[in-house]
Amino acid sequence: MRHGGWMRRMALLLALAPIAASAPEPGRTQWKLGSFTWVKLVPAEPGAPSNAHPAKLSEAALAAALGPVQASVEGRDIPLFAQDELAGLTKALMEALSLARPGDDLILLSTHRRGGLFMDQPQGLLARLFVREGALNLIIHDARLDFMDRYLADSTLPTFAYGSRTVASATNLRAAGATPLRNDWLVLPLTSVPVVVPTPAPAPAEAVTAAPQAPAANRDPAFYEAQTQRLKALKRLREENLLSEAEYQKMREAILKTL
């Protein structure tokens, strides 16, 4: 009997391992990635303005937006998502956004062993996400929710809260280049792959005149810091083989052109 708790803990840890996500299906509303890790489409909160859904975003764009987000935990700023955690979530988030309607939000529960060791106690991250005006809105209710001890003891789960437009949580977030609407709510810029526009045939040489060069835009330090973070996020995605070399170079060039 004394081994019962140990066996139950081991079984639960194994159950938390990621489950391969299937292809998106019209009408799908839930992506279960582990026993306590999922993405769901739910009706937006009453009175919320319409979202820009469906949103066609790449996994790389979502990783670049969410990767730099920091949360204040026990008095220090740490990454909101672990690298391997985020890599496992981006496909489900991409598919959910592509199927969402204007009146839908995404809610996320991600349970992860955030210390990085096999026997570390998993902790939950609870979020609400939606796209509006070309940016990803992220509202966090809990950055690190300890609920596994209680669950292991008596199978009791808390009532999960995913973040609200109307009621702020105690979570404090920050990210370079993001717009904070509240301490727990960030509006994150999205990296887009430039659209290739056909080049018109050149005019005869005698008709070509040099267009006046536009003056360089005044950029504040926050702008350059945001682009630096975007470039670092892209480099990390390339190093982890989440982007091909061609995709990496294309997106890197698009960022550099904004400087």
- Which pLDDT tens digit goes with each residue over 63-87? 999 999 999 988 899 999 998 999 9
Average pLDDT over residues 1-18: 41
At 218, the pLDDT band (50, 70, 90 cuts) reads: low
Q: What is the pLDDT of residues 168-216, one digit of tens each?
A: 999 999 999 999 999 999 999 997 543 333 445 554 544 444 444 444 4
In the chain, what percentage of residues exceed pLDDT 70?
75
- Identify whether 143 is part of a domain: yes
Query: How many whole angstroms separate alpha carbon 66 and alpha carbon 200?
Result: 37
Q: Which domain covers residue 127, as residue numbers?
A: 4-189
In this structure, the answer to whether residues 135 and 230 fall within a common structural domain is no
- Identify whether 79 is part of a domain: yes
In this structure, the answer to whether residues 139 and 230 fall within a common structural domain is no
Angle at 36 between CA 32 and CA 37, to 5 degrees: 50
In this structure, the answer to whether residues 169 and 58 fall within a common structural domain is yes
In the chain, what percentage of residues exceed pLDDT 90?
51
In this structure, the answer to whether residues 122 and 22 fall within a common structural domain is yes
Average pLDDT over residues 207-234: 60
Query: Is the distance from CB of 90 to CB of 77 less than 8 angstroms?
Result: no
Q: What is the pLDDT of residues 122-164, one digit of tens each?
A: 899 999 999 999 999 999 999 999 988 888 888 888 899 999 9
In this structure, the answer to whether residues 154 and 228 fall within a common structural domain is no
Domain endpoint, select from 189, 208, 235:
189
Domain count, the chain: 2
- Identify whether 205 is part of a domain: no
Claim: this prediction has a pTM higher than 0.85: no
